[in-house]
Structure 1
Amino acid sequence: MSDSPFSNMRRMDLWSTFAVYMLAGWSSAQTAPRLGMNHKVYFSWGQAVREVMADEFPDLHQWWTARHNRESLQPPEHIAVQQQAVIAWIETMLNAQHATCPKCGGTRTYRIKGIRPKFKCDPCITCFSILSTTPLAGMIRPELWVDFAKGVMDGQSIPDLKRRSGLGIGASTRWRAQFLLLIEELGHRELLQWIAWMRSRRNNEAVSFVRNGGHLDNSTRSIYPQGTRKGRFVVHMGA
């Protein structure tokens, strides 16, 4: 171990755990308290893990670094499958033409005209929404949901989601929380971990931008120019 990047470091019993947390995208604020280390030790160990990864596992190092630095947002295959499952669920709900009445259990229902998935039951004359028991109940502007969800799954910040959608900060914050709850209820916990990693890297991207002389947009606290105003929507390509 004398020529290893870890040669002068203690607590060998924690090295593998630290590496797992780091590769999973945990921040220093999450990792350091859990392992009982200060931030100086965290960054020393982080450098050592990077060196070992670069020497011993170059393919992993290249893949991880590109995403850690947000040079690439392309997720691993199993995360991409979960992302697509979330989008497919939203689209299926919005485009549903048939539903079962929650009151009488009947299937003689028809969709009420409009973009929201609302139905009326012929036998018991009940009107209902198939989203009423989901985290998306009561949300407006369903034409924005798919694109907004994609932004959430890319780990975009609240200001960037505001820029992407044209919603206000308050609405963007609520929507992000509701979509994260939806992802959790759909059982995609690995996707939630991916989002947390991408979100932490987005914070790091903004910090690096400022340290290198950049200036955040005063109104959005974003590294990007302010987009459309509240109430208007334009699809923005990319992050």
Structure 2
Amino acid sequence: MKQIELWPDFVALRLTGISLIKIKNILGMSMHAITNREKALQKMVKDLFPDLAEWWLPHHQWQDRRLTSQVEKEKQVFMSFLDTLLYQETLDCPTCGNVMKRLEASKHRPYFVCHRCKTSKNLLSNTELFRLDHVDLWHAYTNYLIKGESNLTIQDMLKISHICALNWRKRFIKQMTSMGLDELVFWINWQWGRRQGSIKGAEISKSRKNDQES
């Protein structure tokens, strides 16, 4: 196999979920060479690391999307964070210590007012989610995000705009990163990469089939 020096880069990129199309462009290799390396990599993992292969290959091929225990734990941390933002009813006033109550007019937003000293506080103010719309969709969005769904799929499922889907992905991942949920962020990027890879792979297979039939 030619270009042996590119093997470490290929393996590293592939294990992080980068699609074959992107790896082809990054390494400047032909699609034929990339496909052969993919087959060799999968065989090597099966032969040398059978336990890893049993878990990794189904996830790598986007057939099994069950979370690891650590990712599940970090997901629950983020969901609890959202629960606090969306459902917390009272808050200690940072100015006078009085109990602040959630403002009814703010609907789903965590906006609190102290009736003693008139201090107001929005729990979203110091987060990456500040000023984002459709708060009632955030839990559902997070689940789709963690599953690795594409922006197009998410916007279709939640009936939001494409710009909204793009913005939310960036902002939610930034918030997770700020909370130290690194395994969760890596998982999201990996699964999203695998999703894109499966779509591109299907498109390539369909194109080849059409070429053979024509």
Is the partner of 2:91 in helix, strand or coil? coil
Q: Which runs of 5+ in 2 are unaligned?
A: 208-214
Call closer, same or farther: CA 1:39–1:173 in 2, change over 3 Å.
same
Match of 2:82 among 84, 90, 102: 90
Shift of 1:27: 4.1
Q: What is aligned with 1:3? A: none
Q: Distance in 2 between matches of 1:166 and 1:143?
A: 13
Q: What is aligned with 1:206? A: 199
Match of 1:174 among 155, 167, 173: 167
For this pair of structures, how many residues does the alignment match?
202
Call closer, same or farther: CA 1:132–1:212 in 2, change over 3 Å.
same
Q: Distance in 2 between matches of 1:32 and 1:208?
A: 15
Q: Distance in 1 between matches of 2:157 and 2:34?
A: 35
| CA displacement 1:15-72 (0-9 Å, x = unmatched) | 5665444323244536975xxx433455444332211111122232132121111111
Q: Distance in 1 between matches of 2:34 and 2:200?
A: 18
Shift of 1:158: 0.9
Q: What is aligned with 1:58? A: 50
Q: Which has the higher contact order (CA 8 A, sep 6+)?
A: 2
Which structure features the higher share of helix residues? Answer: 2
CA RMSD of superposed structures (Å): 2.6
| CA displacement 1:149-198 (0-9 Å, x = unmatched) | 11111221111110121111121222222211111111112221111111
Quote the sequence identity (%): 23
Call closer, same or farther: CA 1:194–1:176 in 2, change over 3 Å.
same
TM-score (norm 1): 0.73
1:177 is aligned with what amino acid?
K
Q: Distance in 1 between matches of 2:18 and 2:200?
A: 17
Q: What is aligned with 1:38? A: 28
Is the partner of 1:167 in helix, strand or coil? coil
Match of 2:101 among 110, 119, 129: 110
Match of 1:10 among 1, 4, 19: 4
